[in-house]
Chains A and B, each alone.
Chain A
Amino acid sequence: MFTGEWDGRHEGMGAGMAGTIPWERVRKAGHTLTTPLDPDDYLRFLNPLWTARELRGRVEKVIPETEDAATLVIRPGWGWRYRHRPGQYVGIGIQVDGKFQWRSYSVSSEPRRRGRTIAITVRAMPEGKLSSHLVNGLEPGTILRLALPEGDFTLPDPPPPRMLFLVAGSGVTPVMSMLRTLDRRGALSGDDAPDVVMHYSSPTPDRMIFRDELEALAEKHDRLTLHQLHTDTDGMLELEHPEKGLDGICPDWRERETWACGPGPMLDAISEHFEKEGLEDQLHLERFQLKLGDQGGEGGTITFRNSGKSIEVDGATTVLEAGEEAGVGMPYGCRMGICHTCTLTLVEGTVRDLRNGDEFGQPNEPVQTCVTAAVGDCTLDI
């Protein structure tokens, strides 16, 4: 009965699920009572989840996965769409010292239309104040800010006949969501089931998130092969090595659709390797980047006034990416236009919001750099 629910064909219906339409109308009518605010601005004081203005979620459970990773089961509030596509990520915002900080995390739970919760799995990074806080510091009942699922690191429907997953560390989470979905749909067994090979690198077996579940899945399904690599003892995956590399793990990798998720250097190596073989079209990478619409700017030279740096960019590159490319210490948060952490003053020039085409070009106008691109030359105050 759930066939096809996660393939994106019904996207957009999520918000208009049966039963919510009259409710939406009631809230809209309520606006005349609360103008210029929304009814939600008052209702959230009765229940923090009763607002769709900024999406919120309540932490229901914190499940330890390994010593330094935990799964957060979150109950989203009004306005949430449970129909994420497996592999997508959500933004999580928490207030640290009064300031909202945002990070993106892959959803590890499978999408369920009638779901009430979503799960994300977070590993505490040594330098990551926020991820440590999420893993160790959150009590059930904490209210978080959420951003709707994004990302095109997803499975097509129907899934391709042969697949390869290359994951490392907490990069397993989006793939876990995919495998759980395939498993629940019965798509991993039967004659026409796809053939799946998964390579999973982790320093030690103990640090391997979802190890038991993955091993159980591999045992249950003949067509799912799990290859584990413990890098503390066996070293990192050497892609080009004839035995220990891709050719050894999965000799037919060139004929497979591949999804890779893990630390940046690993992804760089993988994409380089695929490019060398001319197979980059078969590779999907997760780098937590918002897919922005076709509202591109025209590009131009962006000058960063205080640091004296400048860079020439095309109309699809966000100001934030341009700044990072130029080596400017750009502030950023959610990277999806929600949190305003990345807002800088546009001294001169015009930028376009890649989500909707709005242009900003007043002198000294504040702009959200993560979702805007240059329309001609511009200067920013940083």
Chain B
Amino acid sequence: MAIADVKEYTHLWEEEVEQIGRELDAIRQEIEESRGASDAAYINRLIKIQRGLATAGRVSMLAGTWGGRWAPRAEKPALVAGATFLGLAKILENMEIGHNVMHGQWDWMNDPEIHSSNWEWDTAQPAEQWKHSHNYIHHQFTNVLGHDNDIGYGILRMAREQRWHPYYLGQPVYNALLATLFQWGVALHDLDLERIRKGEKDPKEMKRQLKQIFRKGRNQILKDYVVYPALSGPRWKQVAVANATSNLTRNLWSYVIIFCGHFPDGAMHFTEEELEDETRAEWYLRQVLGAANFKGGPLLHVLSGNLGFQIEHHLFPDLPSNRYAEISVKVRALCDKYDIPYTTGPLHRQYGQALRTIIKLSVPNSWTSSNDPAPPERPDTANEPERDRRRKSDAERQPRRAELGAWTRSPQERSHD
């Protein structure tokens, strides 16, 4: 069941919704005013740790392969340690550093080295395209059917409203492939393959994007599968395998975390009607209803880029992630006060629910039952009208909101236009 109007779904009066909006604005303001030296120290420390881990990973692999001649028994542990360090470094870089920096969470520091306008992350997708497909399309149109391309990423059927097709019988397999090759799936996300297939994509823009992806992907592959293996001499294969392992670890981990953001039971979908005349407060409410948190200790939250606070991240995408934990206490209290559903649970349960949905929705709706929380009786969405399912172009969408994180052409690319 998709929601056409958040007010009706939550049984709140317009005045109450606006009051919730004001209270959330106040939380934002409080954090903005208290950002300071300790927050700056946090991100700088994390970057230092991450780069230290990356260096340690590369060095232990090289030491293991070269030192293996004298200490053959040390080679394997060194490679395992190297792959672990490097995998951790990539996870931290992608999740807690890159993703959050690109949202503009650290722009307030005025530090060009930690700034959304020029951060490039350690994964195949060019930052510029991520800032479009994620910051704008996903964060502004969160879980709105036909608008948010992250509902299944154009590969999976993740909402009962998406029409079933025999193609989806293979869904568990596509899911496994997506998890394994996650960084490459993400790399192609902003291209919009469907639009290309239909010949609707501006060829100039497509060429530009493809060139960006090619260049970035090539450099990533060269680094992990050519240059570092070459430096390790005759034992190059071992290093290539270790690098592949760390990339795979990062892929699987980020896949799990990201699938826990909007696919567990309780994260609701919305119809296009919700976007019409949506106020800022209603947008807030949609973020709460459309996202799911997971519980865990501080280490788990850092390794998942604080996306266990997905609800808080969606409310305030550009506030520093190290503050989400304290924000979540206030948001939770606010939701309790107004009786707004707040989805959370342990990581394994949240991912289990996402996986169950993937399997269930591979078959037609009539074969399975929905796990969504019991919806109020609503005549207006019981019979979904036929919808235009293709992706919207930017011209058909509402313009960007500023707080989702900046979007700008990458500096290197701009001059090539």
Contacts and interface: CB of A to CB of B under 8 A. Distances in A.
B219 A41 contact: no
A100 B408 contact: no
A339 B110 contact: yes
Q: Which of B219, B406, B408 has the most CB of A within 10 A?
A: B408
A366 B117 contact: yes
B14 to A, nearest CB: 25
Given A36-B122, A99-B108, A340-B117, A360 B219 contact: no
B170 interface: no
B110 A362 contact: no
Interface stretch (B48-56, B262-270, B282-290, B325-333): B48-56
B402 A98 contact: no
A32 interface: yes
Interface string A98-111: 11111000000000
Contacts of B334: none
Contact of A97 (B37, B54, B407): B37
B414 A358 contact: yes
Nearest to A35: B219
Name A's interface SS: loop
A33 interface: yes
Give chain B's interface secondary structure class: helix
Nearest to A95: B40
A102 B109 CA distance: 12
A381 interface: yes
Contacts of A100: 109-111
Interface band, chain A: 20 to 34
A33 B120 CA distance: 15
A14 B409 CA distance: 31
B121 interface: yes
Nearest to A342: B110
Contacts of B36: 97-98
A364 B402 CA distance: 7
Given A97-B37, A341-B110, A42 B51 contact: yes
A32 B223 contact: yes
Contacts of A101: 110
Interface string B210-238: 00000010011011000110000000000
Contacts of B228: 33
A343 interface: yes
Contact of A340 (B51, B110, B222): B110
Nearest to A360: B408
Interface residues of B, number: 42
A360 B414 CA distance: 9
Contacts of B272: none
A363 interface: yes
Interface in B396-417: 399-402, 406-409, 414-415
Contacts of B107: 340, 343
Contact of A54 (B58, B113, B406): B113
Interface in A89-137: 93, 95, 97-102
Contacts of B345: none
B115 interface: yes
Interface string A342-382: 01010000000000101010111110000000000000010
A358 B196 CA distance: 28
Contacts of B38: 98
A45 interface: yes
Given A35-B223, A345-B402, A362 B408 contact: yes
Interface in B311-353: none
A53 interface: yes
Given A32-B223, A97-B37, A381-B402, A53 B113 contact: yes
A363 B399 contact: yes
Interface string B96-125: 000000000001111111010100111000
Interface in B1-48: 35-41, 48
A365 B408 contact: yes
A42 B59 CA distance: 13
Nearest to B127: A36
Contact of A98 (B40, B122, B409): B40
B312 to A, nearest CB: 21
A338 interface: yes
Given A99-B110, A333-B110, A343-B107, A35 B115 contact: no
B414 A363 contact: no
B415 to A, nearest CB: 7
B180 to A, nearest CB: 22
Contact of B399 (A41, A54, A356, A364): A364
Contact of B415 (A35, A54, A358, A365): A358
B227 A32 contact: yes
Contact of B112 (A45, A340, A362): A340
Contact of B407 (A35, A341, A343, A365): A365
A98 B112 contact: no
Contact of A35 (B109, B220, B400): B220
Given A54-B113, A97-B36, A358-B415, 17 more contacts: A32-B219, A33-B58, A33-B228, A36-B121, A37-B120, A41-B113, A45-B52, A54-B111, A54-B112, A95-B40, A98-B36, A98-B109, A99-B109, A341-B110, A343-B117, A365-B406, A365-B407
14 contacts: A32-B219, A33-B223, A37-B51, A95-B109, A98-B35, A98-B109, A333-B110, A340-B112, A345-B402, A358-B415, A360-B409, A362-B408, A364-B399, A364-B402
Q: List the 9 closest pairs (A to B, CB-CB), nearest first.
A: A98-B40, A36-B120, A100-B110, A364-B400, A35-B219, A363-B399, A98-B37, A366-B406, A97-B36
